[in-house]
Amino acid sequence: MKAAVWFRKSLVILVSVLTFGLVTPSDLAWLAEADSLKDTKKGIVEEEGLAYLPSQDSTELEEEFNREEFLSDILNKAEENAFMKFGDKINPKIGDEFKMVILPKMEEAITEMAAQFPDEKLRQLTITEQPSAGRAEKIFHIYDSNSGKDIIRFHVRQENPPLEGHWFDFHYHTYHDSFATHYNIGKIYWDKNTPPEWTGKQKLS
C-alpha cells in the first residue's frame, strides 16, 4: 500500500514537471491528503466491523444452577406430598406434630443426600408427584430423571404393636444398599382405633 502511494506521488511530480508547473504544489498536497483520508476511512470501517461482531460468550451463557433454590423446591414438594397423603382425615390430628418432629428430619436426610452429588448430577434429580393411597407406605421418592432410578425413598408405615394402639412410623431407604436398610425418622401416635386410609389423591387447599 505504501509503495502504491509513493508511486502516485512520483507520477504527479513527473506530470507537474512535464506540464511546466500547470499542476501546483497545492494540488499535490490535496491529492496526498485525499489518499491519507481514504486510508484512514478504510481503517475506521475495518475497526467498526470488528467492533460489531456478535460475542459468542453472550449467546452461549447458560442459566447458572442454584443449589439452594433447588433444595428449597424439593423440600417444599416433599411437604406438599406428605399432607396430600394424610388427607383431610389424618392431617388435622398429626399435621402439627409432623411439621415439628418429622419434617425437619426429612429435610436433614434430603440435604445430606444432596451433598453427595455435584451440581451437574444434582440438577437431574426430581421428586415424585403422587403419594400412594390406601395402606401403601410411599410418601415420595427422589429419583434421577435421566435414568429413572430412585435415589432415596420416604415412607410411612401404619403399625399396631400389642396393647399400644396405632402409630405412624416414618422412615426412608437409599440406593446405597438397594433400599434394604430402614432408616428411622420418627413415630407419631394415632390412638387405639384404626386410622383412616391414606388419601394420596389430591392436594389440600
Give every strand in the sheet of 167-174, ordered side by side. Answer: 125-127, 138-144, 150-159, 167-174, 183-189
Q: How sure is the predictor about 114, in pLDDT bands with cuts at 50, 70 and 90?
A: very high
User: What integer pLDDT is reported at residue 53 of this predicted model?
Assistant: 45
Is 93 a residue whose pLDDT tops 90? yes
81, pLDDT greater than 60: yes
**Which comes out higher in pLDDT, residue 44 or 37?**
37
**Model confidence pLDDT, tens digit, residues 49-58:** 444 444 444 3
Average pLDDT of 67-79? Answer: 95
> 145: which residues sit within 8 A by CB, 6+ positions away?
124, 125, 126
pLDDT of residue 83: 96
pLDDT at residue 64, rounded to an integer: 85
Q: Which long-range contacts (CB under 8 A, 24 or more apart) does 161-168 make?
A: 165/189, 165/190, 165/191, 165/192, 166/190, 166/191, 166/192, 166/193, 166/194, 166/195, 168/94, 168/195
Beta strands in the chain (DSSP E): 125-127, 138-144, 150-159, 167-174, 183-189
Give the model's pLDDT for residue 175.
97
CA distances from 99 to 84, 93, 104, 113 (A): 14, 12, 7, 20
Mean pLDDT of 114-138: 95
Please tell me the predicted confidence (pLDDT) of residue 24: 55
pLDDT tier for residue 61 given thresholds of 50, 70 and 90: very low
pTM: 0.68
What is residue 5's predicted lDDT score, i.e. its pLDDT? 54
Name the band, by pLDDT with cuts 50, 70 and 90, for residue 127.
very high
pLDDT at site 200: 72
pLDDT of residue 14: 54
- Alpha-carbon gap, residue 133 to 163, rounded angstroms: 26
Instruction: Give the pLDDT confidence of 161-188 residue by residue, as tens digits.
Output: 998 999 999 999 999 999 999 999 999 9
Strands 183-189 and 125-127: unpaired
Least Cα distance to 12 among 26, 41, 2, 38 occurs for 26
